[in-house]
Amino acid sequence: MPEPTRTLMEDVEIASQQHMVHLWLAIISAVVSLLLPFVGIVAAYSGYRLMTVMHRRWFGLVFAGIGLASFSLSMLTIALLQLGYIGG
């Protein structure tokens, strides 16, 4: 008999019990990475770790995506500035 699917709040509660550090780091660093893009690496790693724990993989993927997108866009901006494609 298949097990019943967990609600989002039950899934978050289980993740907070097993990997509380990764849960809070993913949430906080994803928000901070919007202002300091280099923090996006932490959000990407913590979001990845949440994907391995939680039943809903999209929850961790959202935080990993925000962090990785912020970091990638900042690296692209720096590269384009150095190459002279955009003015600084």
Residues 6+ apart with CB under 8 A from 63: 26, 27, 29, 30, 43, 46, 47, 50
Dump pLDDT digits (tens) for 11-24: 888 888 888 898 99
Dump pLDDT digits (tens) for 29-44: 999 999 999 999 999 9
Q: Supply the pTM of this predicted model.
A: 0.83
